[in-house]
Amino acid sequence: MIEQTVRIKKLNENAKIPTYGTEYAAGADLYACIDSEEIIKSGETKLIKTGLALEVPIGYAGLIYARSGLASKKGLAPANKVGVVDSDYRGEVMVALHNHSNEDKTIEPMERIAQLVIAPYLKANFEEVDELEDTTRGSGGFGSTGAK
């Protein structure tokens, strides 16, 4: 396991620093920094504040994923599937929660709303070419490697 310091700033005194649920959890829980409950109607997306700003180190990204419990029990998950906090972003981290259920759902103050994974990334140098190397798979796409 690699450890990396990520500087964090509370933008709201009530904000909660992300926490890991277990010793080997990859994602740290992000908490709703709201004054009162927020109702997210069926099919609606709402930005939920965390009250935090991050200083993600260069060469890393903060990836915001759904919490499995919130998604499976309430039908709430990030609208963009995976949010990305770039290393040069200094604004408030917010989670765009979408209600995939058929019922209105409530988010309570300090409820765990998503999980944050700090991950290294490679910056690609894209090179335009006339041809790509051949492979056995070739241009086979969706479902092309499944059993027949």
3-52 confidence digits (pLDDT tens) = 899 999 999 999 999 999 999 999 999 999 999 999 999 999 999 999 99
- Burial environment of residue 67 by CB neighbours within 10 A (0 to 12, 13 to 18, 19 or more): buried
Mapping DSSP to helix (H, G, I), strand (E, B) and coil, where does residue 106 land? strand
Judged against a pLDDT cut of 60, whether residue 148 lies above it is answered with: no
3-state secondary structure of 69: helix
Per residue in 119-142, pLDDT (tens digit) is 999 999 999 999 999 998 888 777
- Main-chain phi, psi angles of 93, to 5 degrees: -80, 125
Query: Can you list the positions of beta strands (E) in the chain?
Result: 7-10, 19-20, 28-31, 38-40, 45-55, 60-65, 76-78, 83-85, 92-99, 105-107, 112-120
CA separation (Å) from 141 to 27, 78, 137, 147? 31, 26, 9, 14
Tell me, what DSSP letter sits at residue 27? S
CATH architecture of 7-120: Distorted Sandwich (2.70)
β-bridge mates for residue 89, sequence order:
none
**Domain boundaries along the sequence of the chain:** 7-120
